[in-house]
Amino acid sequence: MPAPTPANQNGPKPRVYLALEGGGAKGFAHVGALRAIEHHTEIEGMAGASAGAVVAALKSAGFTADDLINTKTRTTLLDWLKERDVVMRDATQFFGRLGWWRVRSLRAAFRLARGGGRSTVVILTATAVLSIGAAALLGPILAMAAAGVWLAVVFRAGRGLLSGLSSAGRFRTILDSALKLKLRGSLDGEAVTFAEMAAAGCTPLKVVATDLTAGRLRLFSAEDTPDIAVCDAVTASVCLPIVFSIWSFPLVDEGADHAFLDGGLVSNLPAWPFDEERTIDQRAVTLAVEIAEPEGASATSITRFNWPIAALRTSIFGASVLNKRAIGRLETLVLPSALGVLQFDAKLDAVVADVENAARAAEARLVKRVVHDPWTLREAAEAARRLTGWTLEQLPEVTRPRPDRSPRVRAAIAMFENADHRKTLKLSPCVGFEGDSDEEIVLPIEGSLVGKAWKDRVALFQALPFARELDLPGVQNDLRRRLIWKDMTWSLAIPILAGEGAGQGTPILAVVLDGDHILPDDVESFRSVLGQLAVAIQENVLDIAQEIG
């Protein structure tokens, strides 16, 4: 059976806040992910660093994934710009002819160092020593001259690397041209600012850069930096050390120039900038789009020669664990990419293949985690609610009739909200809550019925009066207790375990049922009925839970 799509679920598309990781030329893969995301979700906001900031800015301005790279027609944004008299042959022109030659030389040097490692260092050192030694045979003055030449070469190369191999000015011009043409239809006027994009109704955009002057992360957005040119913010974010020179421009509120480098140095996968919006819109999802390291890259053997590069890679890409500690639900799309970080001269065939591979990977993960799984869990909760309600209707002797209305049964799925959460469970999805204040509440494992069922790995039932130790005790739960449904008279928590045998395995999720039935003084008959229901629900939901994983 094919995975359901928003269209056949008869509901709105999931709302997402998108975070795009940096990665140089690997960022072409973001276009493939964007194609799937556009189809299945509503994008409420976009944040990015480095290459991710470029794609985020263009998408925010109104460009679609197919506008950026259309794999069917094999046209790109550069073709669109060329039709409007902004001529650029390929991405290498961002660097200029000399700059690109330097970047290619650096790329070749990296390959040589990675392939030769220690032997490369030994050969270069031996060459220097032998040349100085040969000169020494002809006299001390020639030896000193030879040593001076080598020192000058090393100094010049080092200074060149530290100052950057290319200016990002050409990139800034092209990006601003694209934004102007999309938003204004002409190239006239000053650069497009964050305020202008917000006034035009563009998707909210947030860009991360490293502010060297202030010594901290700088977040550009319509709220914080409305008068800053978007092209300046994105250019600052893409200035990878060594590859690009430092990018400087004045901040409006301070006047003085600030120097910036690549945003990936401080937050390469910024999943946190929309935390405040996620606090307001708690049903939205933070979608973090990562670019996978090549297979085996994470298992590199560390030596005295390659540890600086490994340390830099870890400081940038390893920080994604911290950067993804966003508020609320977070899903990650990991994209494959066969391109190198500096492979801006990749042929169109290779770029198209990267985009297609990323689109397939994103489609599969996105449909499963953001579309199919929530729909499946809601169906499971609804089935458990209907089964419980129908069973209790058939056994009126286990409850007392309500004089005012029919009793209600509610159901919810309890799970860890994020992969790094271990102390709380969130009830979501919820069915039958009818606007109750505890819908999608987050419950502590310590001090709640569902938490105890989770820890003990057994279904647990309680009826009024609820046990004090399971009724959200302590001052830390004061506000949470006020949200709990006041008419609840009973509750049942059923952990769903991955493993064989009763009480074995690890909980995947829990089904939580409750109701407002009027119970007799002796609730054992009611407890017995719910105990049998718990067994049936466990068996039916287990298959769903294992499918979801």
- How far, in Å, CA of 431 to CA of 326, rounded? 26
Residues 268, 49 contacting (CB under 8 angstroms):
yes
Whether 50 sits among the annotated catalytic residues: the reply is: yes
Rounded CA-CA distance 475/468 in Å is 13
522: left (phi over 0), alpha (psi -120 to 50) or beta: beta
DSSP letter (8 states) at residue 400: B
Q: Are 324 and 332 in contact (CB under 8 A)?
A: yes
AA identity, residue 321: V
Which of 176, 262, 354, 516 is catalytic? The answer is 262
Q: How far is CA 192 from CA 198, 199, 229, 231, in A?
A: 11, 11, 6, 7
429 upstream amide cis, omega within 30 of 0: yes
Helix H or strand E encompassing 277: helix 275-280
How far is it, in rounded angstroms, from Cα 377 to Cα 540? 12
Instruction: Give the distance from CA 501 to its chain's centroid.
Output: 37
Radius of gyration over every alpha carbon of the chain, rounded to an integer in angstroms: 30
487 is catalytic: no
Read off the tokens for 472.
């959200």
Q: Would you give the DSSP letter of residue 243?
A: T
So which residues are the catalytic ones? 50, 262
